[in-house]
A and B are shown apart, each in its own frame.
Chain A
Amino acid sequence: MEFKTAVFYFLSAILVFASLRVITARNAVVAVLHLILAFFSAGGVWALLQAEFLAIGIVLIYVGAVMVLFLFVVMMLDINIDRLREKFWSYLPLGLIVGLVMLFELGAVLSANYLGVMESDAPQVPAGVSNTKALGRLIYTDFVYPFELASVVLLVAIVAAIAITYRGRKPTKSTDPAKQIRVQAKDRVRVLQMPSEKQD
């Protein structure tokens, strides 16, 4: 076995294990940590495929930014994992049946002539050509239209998030001296007349 293949299997094994732990871990924080591990291994697999931009991107963006934020949120939320799982066992048989049927159908359709995946060599990249540079060039030239559209989608996401959650500025707790001076006795004390009630 070539060294590269060995590295691929090693990374893939970690990836599969980490992904399984993400959905089986009882503790949400442990699940998130395993998700980070899964992203790292996926980045490694991409680096093996010479897609170094994607590899760096997933580590920087997903691990560095998204997952850290995720970790914060998960740590702050009080998630009762056992209550979420209450119905797990009662839904499991149905889910398993549906999943197996789908697997069988896909298999029946695909196994006929597609399981023998056509083997193709990775495109030979001449030395000195950077994948990142080529990607950047394409994004800003041929794919500039979808690139701009993606930015508009993100803008709408920001607007939407603010529109749904912003509830106006909170009143500040600082005091206004002018108001304090103008205050009168009736603003501070209110005398109420209440009928007497019998105590039981």
Chain B
Amino acid sequence: MTLSEMNFALPDLAPAAAEIFLLTMACAILVLDVFLKDARRTVTFVLTMLTLAGSFFITFVGSSAEITYTFSNMFVDDLMGDFLKLLLYATVFVVIMYARGYMLERAPQAKGEFYTLTLFATLGMMVMISANHFLTVYLGLELLSLSLYAMVALNRDSVQATEAAMKYFVLGALASGLLLYGMSMIYGATGTLEITGVAERLQLGAANKTVLSLGLVFLVAGIAFKLGVVPFHMWIPDVYHGAPTAVTLFIGSAPKLAAFAIVIRMLVNGLIVLAQDWQQMLILLSVLSMGIGNLAAIAQTNLKRMLAYSTISHMGFMLLGLVTGVVGGDARYALNAYSSSMFYVVTYVLTSAGTFGMILLMARSGFEADQLDDFKGLNKRSPWFAGIMMMLMFSMAGVPFFVGFFAKFSVLQAVVASGQIWLAIVAVIFSLIGAFYYLRVVKLMYFDQPSDPSPIEAAFDVKVLMSANGLAVAVLGIFPQALMSLCAYTLLRSL
């Protein structure tokens, strides 16, 4: 074959400009960091922040309501992707701001790597968000997971962190295997890995239903593992607990956006014809997660473990929105249902970033503020931060009128609209049970005596950011409509 026979058009690189920019910068920072003296790691930090800001700018300028495919239809650029990516950059930006001081103290030998690994993980999430091919979903997921395994183990002299990383790695590899197995079966049944292509073949109804359902089971199991919903949740508490808190903050926030994106891409964009099948599986996962997550969280004395179980229950609640899209072959409520889930994820990421940020803010050298008792009497030590923590806890519990309440409300509305009243009742009961352990934190902060009355000290920028984060939860609770309609609009333009 000669060169002239290769009729190959260069792919359109413009939709992936943000990914290309971030990758180039990450490699540049990686090399530059080697030549920096320890005292000058500020350069790495500033460059990382500039990279995120630059990606934000590129994505923002390049966003349009049209759906563009490139790289032989493996990459899709649509409004949902752009919106989630913008949120992703903002979240990672905030996470690094919170995490900086902590990582400097806790993992002195790996200062630069924290930033570069964070950037590579961000790239993985961007790939997941823009994936239109099962292969790129998988590769993005691996890029994210591999960076996260290493970040959990960065504090390598801690036995707990090493054990958590090992567990995360082994279980994560197993989950990837399940996901790949499912993908291969779907490929076997439809003859393509391209997500829009799979949807077309399924519409024609030519695929082997048995193989397809079997593949779907493995696919959903793999997704459930990555989302951390019951019964695939065993890694979450150990990893959240064992990882350095800065890494827990990262794992507990940004990847949820990407996980939501791949659920929409694979199940809704690709396998909507099988909605009846996967909705049943998701209902089971959702109810179990809300139950076990909320009940187990009550028994925890470690705040990080408690929040881990709370994540499980929140992800279960988020899945509720996804199970109500198609009712008896009628997809009338689909948009409403999926946008309520999206709103839920976005508000959860905002709230959990603030909560883990608060643990980081209170941690000092040689002291982790990750026990519930460490929050005793916070009101006496710092009334302002106690107030912010209270708002975050109220939002997580779903107390009106904080943003978490509207997130729960819109999901419940979607569930009721689909006619599954029993599901809504179960969700409300478990949320009420869950409110107990969030309010216990508030009680500890306001009605107990502090064991250490020294005031909270933190860098000025972290204080400002924390205040902004807490106020965002309150302000979005008063005006939730803007964000809600933004979620609905981006989904409308993308599905």
Contacts and interface: CB of A to CB of B under 8 A. Distances in A.
Partners in one complex: yes
B441 interface: no
Nearest to B9: A141
Contacts of B140: 149
A144 B109 CA distance: 36
Interface residues of B, number: 38
Contacts of B142: 153
Contacts of A160: 117, 146-147, 149-150
A165 B110 CA distance: 10
A143 interface: yes
B90 interface: no
Chain B's interface: helix, strand, loop or mixed, by majority? helix
Interface string A141-160: 11111100110110111011
B110 A149 contact: no
A136 to B, nearest CB: 10
B385 interface: no
A167 B182 CA distance: 40
A112 B209 CA distance: 12
A141 B71 CA distance: 9
B208 A114 contact: yes
B314 interface: no
22 contacts: A109-B214, A110-B210, A110-B214, A129-B1, A137-B1, A141-B8, A143-B72, A144-B71, A145-B16, A146-B133, A146-B135, A146-B139, A152-B23, A152-B120, A153-B143, A153-B146, A156-B147, A159-B117, A159-B150, A163-B113, A163-B154, A167-B109
Interface in A59-115: 106, 109-110, 112-114
A130 to B, nearest CB: 8
Contacts of A189: none
A164 interface: yes
Given A152-B123, A153-B139, A153-B143, A142 B72 contact: yes
Contacts of A113: 210
Nearest to B6: A137
A156 B120 contact: yes
Chain A's interface: helix, strand, loop or mixed, by majority? helix
Interface of A: 106, 109-110, 112-114, 129, 133, 137, 141-146, 149-150, 152-153, 155-157, 159-160, 162-164, 166-168
A146 B142 CA distance: 12
Contacts of A159: 30, 113, 116-117, 120, 150
A144 B1 CA distance: 19
Contacts of B16: 145
B150 A145 contact: no
B210 A145 contact: no
Nearest to A161: B150
Nearest to B23: A152
Contact of A152 (B117, B143, B149): B143
Interface string B51-66: 0000000000000000
A190 to B, nearest CB: 30
B74 A145 contact: yes
Contacts of B136: 145-146, 149
Contact of B210 (A114, A142, A153): A114
A187 B109 CA distance: 30
Contact of A164 (B8, B116, B123, B154): B154
- Most B Cβ at <10 Å: residue of A109, A129, A160: A160
A144 B71 CA distance: 7
Interface in B105-145: 109-110, 113, 116-117, 120, 123, 127, 133, 135-136, 139-140, 142-143
Interface in B44-96: 71-72, 74-75
Contacts of B27: 155
A-B pairs, top 3 by smallest CB distance, nearest first, are: A160-B150, A145-B71, A163-B113
A152 B125 CA distance: 13
